């Protein structure tokens, strides 16, 4: 593989599947460029004869599962043994920013439901504090003007921007809008998430707390397992 960054992502995605997925398991599969490699590796193991099933975080992931031959079953049709997904930021205490790919609500549902949640990232996503990457907030479209007003009132220095894709307002697989909110460095992710979640019209916030069971990260030596602070 000519792209060193993609090669490193491949290593970490494959490592997560090979370390944590056993035959017969139901695997939660995430969305994004690093999760892609976990999906591909799961497909390779199915092709080799292992019985595995997946519960997916997005329509895009479901399409990839179809491409790679991974059987997909509905959410909660069986227990999720392990979920594997990427992140936009990982703090030392394993607080996460997620939702850059637009699947944050379903990603959180699967992370909560899984017996174990394994996060896979490249080393550029490891931060001292959340906030370098904008915080995605999923919003019911009817309430978008209200949510924008409330965020502006509560966080005067923040910038909330509706996500646009291909010149059109972006809509999640749930039919909702996303506000990408630049708060700057976030000293208290728990308080911020609670404040945002309390605004009527906010479906979910792309801050994931107390969910990760392990974090695998790209490294010069291959794959590094992070230690939780």
62, 89, 107, 138: the active-site residue: 107
Is residue 225 a part of any domain in this protein?
A: no
Q: Is the sign of the CA dihedral 190, 82, 174, 63 positive or negative?
A: positive
Average pLDDT, the chain: 97
The span from the CA of 84 to the CA of 107, in Å, is: 10
Residue 220: its pLDDT value, please? 87
- The total domain count for the chain is 2
pTM of the model: 0.96
pLDDT band per the 50, 70, 90 thresholds, residue 97: very high
- 200-218: pLDDT as tens digits: 999 999 999 999 999 999 9
**pLDDT tens-place string over residues 100-157:** 999 999 999 999 999 999 999 999 999 999 999 999 999 999 999 999 999 999 999 9
What domain range includes position 15? Answer: 4-127+209-220
pLDDT band at residue 221 using 50, 70 and 90 as cut-offs: confident
Residue 11 sits in the same domain as residue 97: yes
Give me the CATH number covering residue 149. 3.30.70.260
Q: How sure is the predictor about 1, in pLDDT bands with cuts at 50, 70 and 90? A: low
- The full length of the chain comes to 229
Is 107 annotated in the active site? yes
pLDDT on residue 3: 87
Spatial CA neighbour of 154 closest among 171, 142, 166, 137: 137
Distance CA 136, CA 1 (A): 32
Band of pLDDT at residue 94, cut at 50, 70 and 90: very high
Same domain, 101 and 190: no
Q: How far is CA 178 from the centre of its chain?
A: 14
Of the candidates 171, 183, 178, 169, the one whose C-alpha atom is nearest the C-alpha of residue 134 is: 183
Give the CATH number for residue 82: 3.40.50.1360
Same domain, 113 and 12: yes
- Does the pLDDT of residue 222 top 90, yes or no? no
The tens digit of pLDDT for each residue in 28-54 reads 999 999 999 999 999 999 999 999 999
């Amino acid at each position: 593989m000519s792209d060193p960054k993609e090669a490193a992502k491949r290593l970490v995605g494959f490592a997560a599947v090979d370390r944590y997925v056993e035959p017969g398991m139901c695997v939660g599969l995430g969305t994004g460029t690093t999760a892609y490699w976990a999906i591909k590796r799961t497909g390779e193991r199915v092709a080799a004869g292992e019985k595995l099933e997946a519960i997916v975080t997005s329509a895009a992931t479901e399409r990839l599962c179809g491409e790679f031959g991974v059987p997909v079953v509905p959410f909660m049709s069986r227990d999720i043994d392990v979920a594997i997904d990427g992140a936009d930021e990982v703090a030392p205490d394993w607080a996460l920013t997620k939702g850059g790919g637009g699947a944050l609500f379903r990603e959180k549902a699967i992370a909560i439901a899984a017996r174990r949640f394994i996060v896979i990232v490249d080393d550029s996503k490891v931060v001292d504090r959340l906030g370098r990457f904008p915080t995605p907030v999923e919003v019911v479209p009817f309430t978008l003007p209200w949510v924008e007003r409330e965020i502006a009132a509560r966080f005067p220095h923040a910038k909330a921007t509706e996500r646009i894709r291909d010149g059109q307002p972006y809509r999640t697989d749930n039919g909702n809008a996303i506000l990408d909110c630049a708060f700057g460095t976030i000293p208290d992710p728990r308080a911020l998430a609670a404040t945002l979640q309390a605004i009527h019209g906010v479906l979910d916030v792309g801050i994931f707390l107390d969910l990760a069971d392990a974090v695998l990260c790209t490294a010069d030596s291959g794959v590094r397992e992070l230690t939780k602070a």
